[in-house]
Copies of this chain bind each other. A is one copy, B any other.
Protein backbone atom coordinates (compact mmCIF):
# COMPACT_ATOMS: atom_id res chain seq x y z
CA UNK A 1 0.00 0.00 0.00
CA UNK A 2 1.04 3.55 -0.62
CA UNK A 3 2.75 5.71 1.94
CA UNK A 4 0.38 6.92 4.61
CA UNK A 5 -0.95 10.45 4.33
CA UNK A 6 1.11 13.08 6.09
CA UNK A 7 0.11 13.69 9.67
CA UNK A 8 0.98 17.36 9.61
CA UNK A 9 2.62 19.96 7.45
CA UNK A 10 5.38 22.24 8.51
CA UNK A 11 4.68 25.92 8.14
CA UNK A 12 6.75 29.06 8.53
CA UNK A 13 7.04 30.86 11.81
CA UNK A 14 5.03 33.94 10.72
CA UNK A 15 2.34 31.72 9.28
CA UNK A 16 1.84 29.80 12.49
CA UNK A 17 2.02 32.86 14.66
CA UNK A 18 -0.56 34.52 12.48
CA UNK A 19 -2.81 31.49 12.58
CA UNK A 20 -2.69 31.34 16.34
CA UNK A 21 -3.30 35.05 16.76
CA UNK A 22 -6.20 34.96 14.31
CA UNK A 23 -7.71 32.00 16.07
CA UNK A 24 -7.40 33.78 19.40
CA UNK A 25 -9.08 36.93 18.12
CA UNK A 26 -11.81 35.00 16.39
CA UNK A 27 -12.62 33.03 19.51
CA UNK A 28 -12.67 36.01 21.82
CA UNK A 29 -14.81 37.98 19.38
CA UNK A 30 -17.42 35.30 18.88
CA UNK A 31 -17.52 33.35 22.13
CA UNK A 32 -15.94 35.64 24.68
CA UNK A 33 -12.64 35.66 26.46
CA UNK A 34 -13.42 32.61 28.56
CA UNK A 35 -13.71 30.50 25.43
CA UNK A 36 -10.17 31.35 24.40
CA UNK A 37 -8.44 28.44 26.11
CA UNK A 38 -5.20 27.07 24.72
CA UNK A 39 -6.98 23.95 23.56
CA UNK A 40 -9.78 25.83 21.83
CA UNK A 41 -7.33 28.17 20.17
CA UNK A 42 -5.23 25.27 18.94
CA UNK A 43 -8.26 23.51 17.56
CA UNK A 44 -9.37 26.69 15.82
CA UNK A 45 -5.94 27.00 14.24
CA UNK A 46 -5.88 23.33 13.21
CA UNK A 47 -2.99 22.61 15.44
CA UNK A 48 -2.15 20.73 18.60
CA UNK A 49 -2.20 22.59 21.94
CA UNK A 50 1.45 21.94 22.52
CA UNK A 51 2.39 23.99 19.51
CA UNK A 52 1.19 27.17 21.13
CA UNK A 53 3.93 26.99 23.67
CA UNK A 54 6.41 26.45 20.88
CA UNK A 55 5.64 29.86 19.43
CA UNK A 56 4.52 31.75 22.51
CA UNK A 57 6.31 31.23 25.77
CA UNK A 58 3.11 31.70 27.70
CA UNK A 59 -0.56 32.20 27.04
CA UNK A 60 -0.32 35.79 28.16
CA UNK A 61 2.22 36.35 25.42
CA UNK A 62 -0.25 35.15 22.86
CA UNK A 63 -3.02 37.30 24.28
CA UNK A 64 -0.76 40.31 24.25
CA UNK A 65 0.24 39.70 20.64
CA UNK A 66 -3.40 39.32 19.72
CA UNK A 67 -4.23 42.63 21.36
CA UNK A 68 -1.57 44.47 19.42
CA UNK A 69 -2.80 43.06 16.17
CA UNK A 70 -6.38 43.97 16.89
CA UNK A 71 -5.47 47.53 17.71
CA UNK A 72 -3.39 47.96 14.59
CA UNK A 73 -6.28 46.55 12.58
CA UNK A 74 -8.62 49.10 14.09
CA UNK A 75 -6.41 52.12 13.63
CA UNK A 76 -5.14 50.84 10.30
CA UNK A 77 -8.63 50.77 8.82
CA UNK A 78 -9.06 54.47 9.45
CA UNK A 79 -5.56 55.22 8.27
CA UNK A 80 -5.96 53.50 4.94
CA UNK A 81 -8.88 55.75 4.17
CA UNK A 82 -6.54 58.74 3.95
CA UNK A 83 -4.26 57.32 1.32
CA UNK A 84 -4.73 58.62 -2.17
CA UNK A 85 -6.44 61.62 -0.65
CA UNK A 86 -3.42 63.84 -0.53
CA UNK A 87 -4.91 66.42 -2.87
CA UNK A 88 -8.36 66.44 -1.40
CA UNK A 89 -9.77 69.28 0.67
CA UNK A 90 -9.02 68.95 4.41
CA UNK A 91 -12.67 68.88 5.41
CA UNK A 92 -13.24 65.98 3.08
CA UNK A 93 -10.24 64.13 4.43
CA UNK A 94 -11.47 64.56 7.97
CA UNK A 95 -14.93 63.41 6.91
CA UNK A 96 -13.46 60.33 5.26
CA UNK A 97 -11.50 59.52 8.40
CA UNK A 98 -14.56 59.86 10.61
CA UNK A 99 -16.71 57.86 8.20
CA UNK A 100 -14.21 55.04 8.03
CA UNK A 101 -14.06 54.87 11.80
CA UNK A 102 -17.83 54.66 12.08
CA UNK A 103 -18.55 52.14 9.37
CA UNK A 104 -18.08 48.37 9.18
CA UNK A 105 -15.76 46.61 9.56
CA UNK A 106 -14.55 48.96 12.26
CA UNK A 107 -18.01 49.23 13.73
CA UNK A 108 -18.73 45.60 14.46
CA UNK A 109 -19.92 43.58 17.46
CA UNK A 110 -16.93 41.29 17.40
CA UNK A 111 -14.56 44.20 17.20
CA UNK A 112 -16.11 45.85 20.22
CA UNK A 113 -16.24 42.61 22.16
CA UNK A 114 -12.58 42.07 21.45
CA UNK A 115 -11.67 45.51 22.61
CA UNK A 116 -13.73 45.14 25.79
CA UNK A 117 -12.07 41.85 26.58
CA UNK A 118 -8.69 43.46 26.49
CA UNK A 119 -9.80 46.59 28.29
CA UNK A 120 -10.57 44.39 31.23
CA UNK A 121 -6.88 43.61 31.56
CA UNK A 122 -5.77 47.19 31.24
CA UNK A 123 -5.40 47.73 34.94
CA UNK A 124 -3.34 44.70 35.80
CA UNK A 125 -1.35 44.08 32.64
CA UNK A 126 1.20 46.77 31.99
CA UNK A 127 1.91 45.67 28.43
CA UNK A 128 -1.70 46.09 27.50
CA UNK A 129 -2.01 49.34 29.38
CA UNK A 130 0.90 50.83 27.45
CA UNK A 131 -0.39 49.51 24.14
CA UNK A 132 -3.78 51.02 24.85
CA UNK A 133 -2.31 54.37 25.73
CA UNK A 134 -0.26 54.45 22.56
CA UNK A 135 -3.20 53.48 20.40
CA UNK A 136 -5.37 56.15 21.99
CA UNK A 137 -2.86 58.95 21.53
CA UNK A 138 -2.01 57.79 18.05
CA UNK A 139 -5.61 58.02 16.96
CA UNK A 140 -6.26 61.27 18.76
CA UNK A 141 -3.15 62.91 17.38
CA UNK A 142 -4.12 61.97 13.87
CA UNK A 143 -7.51 63.50 14.47
CA UNK A 144 -5.86 66.64 15.78
CA UNK A 145 -3.77 67.00 12.63
CA UNK A 146 -6.79 66.56 10.42
CA UNK A 147 -8.79 69.13 12.35
CA UNK A 148 -5.85 71.52 12.30
CA UNK A 149 -5.64 71.19 8.53
CA UNK A 150 -9.28 72.10 8.21
CA UNK A 151 -8.77 75.28 10.22
CA UNK A 152 -5.60 76.14 8.33
CA UNK A 153 -7.34 75.96 5.01
CA UNK A 154 -10.15 78.16 6.23
CA UNK A 155 -7.70 80.66 7.63
CA UNK A 156 -9.04 80.14 11.13
CA UNK A 157 -6.63 80.72 13.95
CA UNK A 158 -7.08 78.28 16.80
CA UNK A 159 -4.97 77.99 19.91
CA UNK A 160 -3.05 74.75 20.43
CA UNK A 161 -4.80 73.84 23.66
CA UNK A 162 -8.14 74.48 22.02
CA UNK A 163 -7.17 72.20 19.18
CA UNK A 164 -6.34 69.46 21.66
CA UNK A 165 -9.70 69.94 23.31
CA UNK A 166 -11.49 69.57 19.98
CA UNK A 167 -9.52 66.44 19.18
CA UNK A 168 -10.40 64.90 22.53
CA UNK A 169 -14.05 65.71 22.01
CA UNK A 170 -14.12 64.40 18.44
CA UNK A 171 -12.36 61.28 19.55
CA UNK A 172 -14.96 60.80 22.26
CA UNK A 173 -17.78 61.11 19.74
CA UNK A 174 -16.17 58.47 17.57
CA UNK A 175 -15.46 56.17 20.49
CA UNK A 176 -18.92 56.49 21.90
CA UNK A 177 -20.68 55.92 18.59
CA UNK A 178 -18.35 53.09 17.68
CA UNK A 179 -19.08 51.46 20.97
CA UNK A 180 -22.83 51.78 20.82
CA UNK A 181 -22.96 50.72 17.21
CA UNK A 182 -20.97 47.61 17.98
CA UNK A 183 -22.69 46.73 21.24
CA UNK A 184 -26.23 47.36 19.97
CA UNK A 185 -26.10 46.71 16.23
CA UNK A 186 -29.88 46.60 15.93
CA UNK A 187 -30.36 50.01 17.48
CA UNK A 188 -29.16 51.93 14.44
CA UNK A 189 -29.88 52.05 10.75
CA UNK A 190 -26.97 51.45 8.35
CA UNK A 191 -25.06 54.66 7.86
CA UNK A 192 -26.87 56.36 10.71
CA UNK A 193 -23.89 56.21 13.05
CA UNK A 194 -21.48 57.68 10.51
CA UNK A 195 -23.96 60.42 9.68
CA UNK A 196 -24.44 61.36 13.31
CA UNK A 197 -20.70 61.33 13.81
CA UNK A 198 -20.09 63.68 10.90
CA UNK A 199 -22.77 66.14 11.98
CA UNK A 200 -21.68 66.09 15.61
CA UNK A 201 -17.99 66.56 14.98
CA UNK A 202 -18.87 69.23 12.46
CA UNK A 203 -20.84 71.05 15.15
CA UNK A 204 -18.03 70.66 17.67
CA UNK A 205 -15.36 72.13 15.44
CA UNK A 206 -17.74 74.60 13.84
CA UNK A 207 -17.21 73.43 10.29
CA UNK A 208 -19.78 71.46 8.34
CA UNK A 209 -18.36 68.14 7.23
CA UNK A 210 -19.40 66.78 3.83
CA UNK A 211 -21.63 63.76 4.09
CA UNK A 212 -21.52 60.68 1.92
CA UNK A 213 -17.80 60.78 1.48
CA UNK A 214 -16.22 58.63 -1.18
CA UNK A 215 -16.06 54.89 -0.80
CA UNK A 216 -18.17 54.60 2.28
CA UNK A 217 -21.58 55.58 0.99
CA UNK A 218 -23.31 54.06 -1.98
CA UNK A 219 -22.49 56.05 -5.08
CA UNK A 220 -25.87 55.58 -6.68
CA UNK A 221 -27.44 58.03 -4.27
CA UNK A 222 -24.96 60.78 -5.02
Q: Which residues of A contact B (CB under 8 A)?
A: 30-33, 109-110, 112-113, 116-117, 119-124, 132-133, 136, 165, 168-169, 171-177, 179-180, 183-184, 187-188, 196-197, 199-200, 203-204, 206
15 A-B pairs in the complex with CB atoms less than 8 angstroms apart: A113-B123, A116-B120, A117-B120, A119-B183, A122-B183, A136-B183, A165-B199, A168-B180, A169-B200, A172-B172, A172-B176, A172-B177, A172-B196, A173-B176, A175-B176
Which residues of chain B are within 8 angstroms of A119 by Cβ–Cβ distance?
112-113, 116, 183
Inter-subunit contact A109/B123 (CB<8 Å): yes
Q: Do A124 and B176 form a contact, CB below 8 Å, given A196-B169, A203-B203? A: no
Copies in the complex: 2
Partner of A173 from the list B132, B173, B183 (CB cut-off 8 Å) is B173
Given contacts A133-B184, A176-B176, A179-B176, contact A121 B32 (CB under 8 A): yes
